[in-house]
Amino acid sequence: MIEPNFWHFLAAAFLIAAVPGPGIFYVAARTLSEGRASGFASTAGTALGGLVHVVAGSLGISAIILASAELFSAVKFVGALYLVWLGIKTFRSAGRVMELGSEPTGDKHAFRDGVLVEALNPKTAAFFLAFIPQFLDPTGSNPTLQFIMLGAISVALNTLADIVVVLMASATRTQLIGRPKLMRRLTQGSGVFIASLGLTLALARRPVNG
């Protein structure tokens, strides 16, 4: 890999990670509704889900999915339905009395949800296939390994941004934990937002060049 090319990639990946996207909003919503531990577990899950796309992209699997309207729609709608289901479950959990340190959803479940939410998002696959190849060194050996390395760096930067968001959302939640009515509204709002992410995904179109 050409060194100047790598620094260009790093700068671009950093800027992309710093711009709020669906992943950041999802992690923030989970943290606000369930707490810091759930937020960190969700972040770890979305990171693993992102790595799934990196590996799939390097092996050409993502390209096959994006090239097929049927496969793209299938993955998209499964991911959208899962997000909507999570949103509804979060909204319904708002009726519970929430106390500091009490997490309505286990960390394992939050981690699993994060993996599935990210892995079932074909828009992430499209992003990696459009972004990373621009910075590959055509004269270098093993382009697959180059793709994986750059993709892993991009996922790491996104994860760092998610961690910052979790800490901020957790601090906000801690300040509001003694106000049950407001916490109930906050949890309901988080559920609605997560479900809206699913609806947005359902409306996503397959890339023309896919």
Instruction: Say which residue, 179 or 171, is predicted with more confidence.
Output: 171
Q: Is 120 left (phi over 0), alpha (psi -120 to 50) or beta?
A: alpha
* Average per-residue pLDDT for the chain: 86
Lowest mean pLDDT across 105-119, 150-164, 176-190: 176-190
The model's pLDDT over 53-95, given as tens digits with 9 standing for 90+, comes to 999 999 988 888 888 888 889 999 998 999 999 889 888 877 6
Percentage of residues in the chain having pLDDT higher than 90: 44
In this predicted structure, what is the pLDDT of residue 96?
59
In this predicted structure, what is the pLDDT of residue 106?
64
Q: DSSP string of 126-160? A: HHHHHHGGGG--TTSS-HHHHHHHHHHHHHHHHHH
Question: Per-residue pLDDT for 147 more than 90?
Answer: yes
Structure pTM?
0.84
